Amino acid sequence: MKKIMITTASLLMAATAAQAGEQIQIVGSSTVYPFSSYVAEELGATTKIKTPVVESTGSGGGMKLFCAGAGLDTPDFTNASRRMKDNEFKTCQENGVKEITEIVVGYDGIAIAQSKEAAPMNLTRKEIMLAVAAEVPNKAGDGLIANPYHFWNEINSELPHRKITLYGPPTSSGTRDAFEDMILKGITKHMSVYTNLYKADEKKNKKYKKFHEIRQDGVYVPSGENDNLIVQKLAKDVDALGIFGYSYLEQNIDSIAAATVEGVAPAPETVQNGSYKLSRSLYFYIKKSHIGQVSGMKEYAKLFTSEQMIGDEGACAGIGLIPLPKEMRDHYRKQLADMTNLTAEDLTRK
Amino acid sequence: MAELMLKSALQSDARKRRRNRADRRFKWYGFTALVLAMAFLVFFFIDIIGKGLPAFQQAEMLVQVSYSEAVKDNYNLALDKISRKLVSRSWLRTIPMMLEDHPELVGTTSEEWVVTDYHIDQFLKGHEGHGLIEKDQKLVEKLCEEGKIKLAFNSGFFTHGDSKMPENAGILASAIGSVLVLLLTMLVAVPIGVMTAIYLEEFAPDNRFTQLIEVNINNLAAIPSILYGLLGLAIFINFMGVPRSSALAGGLTLALMTLPIIIIATRAALRAVPETIREAAYGLGASNLQTVWDHVLPLAKPGILTGAIIGLAQAMGETAPLLIVGMMAYIPEAPHSILEATTVLPAQVYTWSGESIRAFEERTAAGIMVLLAVLLSMNALAVRLRNRSETNW
């Protein structure tokens, strides 16, 4: 017993005495995670550099850890499925993370998918918004009511008489953020029914500026971070639609099919040329102060931006990343070589 | 009179029958519950084993490898065009590094069995959604007939760490991580837990304060494990500066979680040692320490061990607190020290279950099988220890 206690004590002391390891630490979005960890593995397998640790914390969680400080125990990279927010940049600056380089690696499409057995479906962003928003305009269009729709043909008589059920990501997910941004906020901020309410009382009706509340009467079913689960549910529930990342659609193409949005199906080409509206850019951010202190950071970033990974025929494209157009890839490679600093102005410019 | 007696006899007869019926019904309720529970268990096992067994086999292919000088810059040149797209890139990409370490191989050729791409593996196992194109399907079937592609034991599953390529993914790194974490948990939780229990049971006065502690320990054994994760994050990582994702952080956090279980088990074991033993020791003039150390503790040892093993088995299967301290991550390399990033078996299973590539499904199930096997043997050990040294006072 005495021996055990002595060992424990010495172990604990060793722990506090030793420094944090020199392994690259990457945190952030669960959407970028598959690509990021793929690159990490490649780096570890083909060079002498230790394989970076990639943790999937969600975009917001990643930013929080990344901006917590400049110490070596903080992450060296953070992945994000959206751009860094102004206030996150400010937190970073305040905590001593002054120099950050931003890189875009590709696109991710959000797919609205259904069972392969269901009849093809074409929806507009507005129709999807009307199906999921907590409050929608009334018949006259001059006020808001709790969402009364339970069948698609109630929204648009040309749509089939099919029950509305949507399996989608929960609030913690980056896909949910993107879905709210693109479907709800993107539409409601242009609809006077919502914005008039905001203008009438800016304090009390703040939420109507960009209304993005999702209904909670069981029509929209939050289904956990695990997108595989949504795929399984869709295969069983033929009426339902599911919302998830494009890579899952690609892997499960034998059991589910995508609904078209405004007549366009999700595919690499339609995302690149912007005709498929439900897509977003994927980012990673580099903590410049760690370069030189943690070995392999430059090599990792270089490998991630290489044609071999994110090119049209690259390995990441094989697992669901939608590549950037060629000139954009070159642009970000140059940005990486120059280690361009991210500035607050960059983030406010759209 | 006789009539009245008959009536009351009949009445009591009817009552008895009713009671017997209730008795039988009750027995049946219990039996149905048992059958239901068994059915769930059997269903679970059949599902997991059915899904997981194929993962212990892996498609391999016989290829001609030529280690020419040019291979160092472009590993694709090591193989001919056809086999290049059939084998796993996880093997192909390691060739340049291998040649650097073994320069004497440059210029030689050899015939080797190598792991194929997961599409072929899934196709051979007849899994839906294998994603192999028609043309390649024919090619693979032909090569199979020639004996150049076969399913062999998947040793890589036990000798590799995690990978994004299903054919290359294994449990080695997470298994080593589990051992390290469990070792730390044991080293911290067992001595502290046992000492606490000995103090509370043998030395502490029975007052309000110790009663309060006792109630709290019993409560702590029942709180959701994720709270221990938050506690671990706050104390060990943020306050003490233990590296995130390290075995040390995980081990200490799980030790917190296991402590109450060990304390409760140890106290029960100590209490089971009859008072006469202590009185006999005191009677011979032994001190408190001598009594506990030389007489009570040895007799309580089997009970303490059982409790400790069950507590550790629970820690072994735990994921929620480890999620918070950052061990649910992509960590393919086995750690060399307790300060390096580590993952554990249940975390590995969880990570695989979320992968978009379908071939990971069987790996997930296989991982669960390994985990279950370890847990079952730990529990069996606990039962054995208990049986072997069961004493009747």
The answer for residues whose C-beta is within 8 angstroms of residue A304's C-beta and 6 or more apart is A35, A36, A39, A103, A105, A284, A310
**Residues B292 and B263 grouped into a single domain:** yes
Q: Is the ipTM of this complex over 0.90?
A: no
Nearest to A1 among B96, B191, B242 (CB): B191
Tens digit of pLDDT for each residue in B350-386?
Answer: 989 888 788 898 999 999 999 999 999 988 988 888 7
**Residues B19 and B65 grouped into a single domain:** no
Give percent of chain B with pLDDT exceeding 70: 98
Tens digit of pLDDT for each residue in B197-228?
Answer: 999 998 888 889 989 999 999 999 888 999 99
Determine, yes or no, domain membership for B135: yes
Interface test with A, best of B356, B361, B364 (most A CBs within 10 A): B356
**Residues B151 and B15 grouped into a single domain:** no
B330 and A42 within 8 Å at the Cβ level: the answer is: no
What's the pLDDT at A17? 40
A46 and B187 within 8 Å at the Cβ level: the answer is: no
Residue B28, pLDDT above cutoff 90: yes
A40 and B96 within 8 Å at the Cβ level: the answer is: no
Overall pTM surpassing 0.90 (yes/no): no
What's the pLDDT at B97? 86
What's the pLDDT at B221? 87
Cβ contacts (< 8 Å) between B164 and chain A: which residues?
A: 34, 37-38, 41, 319
**Residues B69 and B129 grouped into a single domain:** yes
A53 and B191 within 8 Å at the Cβ level: the answer is: no
Determine, yes or no, domain membership for B21: yes
Distances (CA, A) of B17 to B11, B22, B26, B27, B28: 10, 9, 14, 15, 16
Cβ contacts (< 8 Å) between A250 and chain B: which residues?
A: 356
Instruction: Say if CB B189 and CB B310 are below 8 A apart.
Output: no
**What's the structural domain count of chain B?**
3
Residue B57: its H or E element: strand B57-66
Tens digit of pLDDT for each residue in B292-309?
Answer: 999 999 889 888 998 999
Residue B341 touches chain A, beta carbons under 8 Å: yes
B94 and A7 within 8 Å at the Cβ level: the answer is: no
CA of residue B46 relative to chain centroid, distance: 19
The runs of H, that is alpha helices, within B53-94 are 81-86, 89-92
B187 and A8 within 8 Å at the Cβ level: the answer is: yes
**Residues B94 and B203 grouped into a single domain:** no
Residue B164 touches chain A, beta carbons under 8 Å: yes
Q: Hey, what domains does chain A have and what are their CATH numbers?
A: 17-107+281-348 (3.40.190.10), 109-279 (3.40.190.10)
Determine, yes or no, domain membership for B166: no
B357 and A44 within 8 Å at the Cβ level: the answer is: no
What's the pLDDT at A250? 78
Q: Where are the beta strands (DSSP E) in chain A?
A: 25-28, 53-55, 77-80, 100-115, 122-123, 135-137, 144-146, 166-168, 220-222, 241-245, 256-258, 260-261, 279-287
Residue B186, pLDDT above cutoff 90: yes
Q: How far is B330 from chain A (nearest CA, A)?
A: 5
**Residues B222 and B367 grouped into a single domain:** yes
Interface test with B, best of A27, A37, A229, A255 (most B CBs within 10 A): A37
- Alpha carbons B348 and B327: distance in angstroms, whole number: 9
Q: How far is B328 from chain A (nearest CA, A)?
A: 7
Determine, yes or no, domain membership for B322: yes
Cβ contacts (< 8 Å) between A8 and chain B: which residues?
A: 187-188, 191
- Count CA atoms within 13 Å of residue A10 on its CB side: 6
Determine, yes or no, domain membership for B136: yes
**Residues B210 and B121 grouped into a single domain:** no
- CB count within 10 Å of CB B101 equals 7
Q: Hey, which residues 268-307 in chain B have their CB within 8 Å of chain A?
A: none
**Residues B151 and B256 grouped into a single domain:** no
Cβ contacts (< 8 Å) between B97 and chain A: which residues?
A: 45-48
**Residues B379 and B264 grouped into a single domain:** yes
B164 and A34 within 8 Å at the Cβ level: the answer is: yes
**Residues B216 and B266 grouped into a single domain:** yes
What's the pLDDT at A18? 41
What's the pLDDT at A19? 43
**Residues B359 and B340 grouped into a single domain:** yes
Cβ contacts (< 8 Å) between B129 and chain A: which residues?
A: 251-252, 254-255
Nearest to A251 among B94, B194, B357 (CB): B357
**Residues B149 and B44 grouped into a single domain:** no
Q: Note down the domain range covering B65.
A: 56-161
Cβ contacts (< 8 Å) between A1 and chain B: which residues?
A: 191, 194
Interface test with B, best of A41, A228, A252, A321 (most B CBs within 10 A): A41
Give percent of chain B with pLDDT exceeding 90: 44
Q: How far is B333 from chain A (nearest CA, A)?
A: 7
Counting one residue from A and one from B, how many pairs have CB atoms under 8 Å apart?
A: 109
Angle at Cα B146 formed by Cα B140 and Cα B147, nearest 5°?
90
Residue B199 touches chain A, beta carbons under 8 Å: no
Determine, yes or no, domain membership for B43: yes
Q: What are the pLDDT tens digits along chain A (350 aa)? A: 555 555 555 554 444 444 444 789 999 988 899 899 999 999 998 888 889 999 988 888 899 999 998 888 889 999 998 889 888 999 999 999 999 999 999 998 888 989 888 888 899 988 999 999 988 888 887 888 888 999 999 888 888 899 999 998 877 666 787 788 888 888 888 888 888 888 888 877 888 888 888 888 888 888 766 667 788 888 888 889 998 878 778 778 888 889 999 889 888 888 888 889 888 889 999 999 999 888 899 999 999 999 989 988 888 887 778 899 988 999 999 999 998 888 888 887 65
Cβ contacts (< 8 Å) between A18 and chain B: which residues?
A: 337, 339
Find the Cα–Cα–Cα–Cα dihedral A79, A83, A88, A94, rounded to 10°: 80
Residue B95: its H or E element: helix B95-101
Domain boundary among B53, B70, B94: B53
The sign one gets for the Cα dihedral A11, A16, A19, A25 is positive
Buried b (16+ CB within 10 A) or exposed e, B374-390: bbeebeeebeebeeeee
Determine, yes or no, domain membership for B393: no
Instruction: Say if CB B262 and CB B194 are below 8 A apart.
Output: yes
Determine, yes or no, domain membership for B167: no
Domain boundary among B161, B190, B225: B161
